Amino acid sequence: NAGVTQTPKFRVLKTGQSMTLLCAQDMNHEYMYWYRQDPGMGLRLIHYSVGEGTTAKGEVPDGYNVSRLKKQNFLLGLESAAPSQTSVYFCASSYGLGGSGANVLTFGAGSRLTVL
């Protein structure tokens, strides 16, 4: 049982390049999330998904796109990377059964992205 796996762990991009961060979970969770973490800013929600085939915007969605074609995978795309997108990205998932079920997020280890 691997939990939440993110790839790649590190990536350096040039401004304007595109890339996709991959997130996979093996816990049969319904809900999946992408957060970014910047120094002094805590965790900010980029996009989330409450089920296969559905996605929604979080606090800071601009410059990112997501897809949830399979229940176990949640992809985060940067179409044209900017230096402001230099950050550590965390994927998370939860059961989302209502009540306190969605309080327990299982996070991946993070993906550190640098945009030059």
| Residues in contact with other proteins by the rule CB under 8 A | 4, 31, 33, 35, 40-45, 48, 50, 58-59, 90, 92, 94, 96, 98, 100, 102-110
Q: Please, what is the minimum distance in Å from the beta carbon of residue 15 to other proteins?
A: 27
Q: Please, what is the minimum distance in Å from the beta carbon of residue 37 to other proteins?
A: 9
Please identify, using beta-carbon distances, which residue of 4 and 66 lies nearer to other proteins: 4
Please identify, using beta-carbon distances, which residue of 1 and 14 lies nearer to other proteins: 1
Q: Please, what is the minimum distance in Å from the beta carbon of residue 85 to other proteins?
A: 19
Q: What does the H/E/C string look like for the chain? A: CCCEEEECCEEEECCCCCEEEEEEECCCCCEEEEEEEECCCEEEEEEEEEECCEEEECCCCCCCEEECCCCCEEEEEECCCCHHHCEEEEEEEECCCCCCHHHCCEECCCEEEEEC
Please identify, using beta-carbon distances, which residue of 85 and 108 lies nearer to other proteins: 108
At position 22, the amino acid (one-letter code) is: L
Is residue 25 within 8 Å of residue 3, measured between CB atoms? Answer: yes
Please identify, using beta-carbon distances, which residue of 11 and 107 lies nearer to other proteins: 107
Q: Please, what is the minimum distance in Å from the beta carbon of residue 103 to other proteins?
A: 4
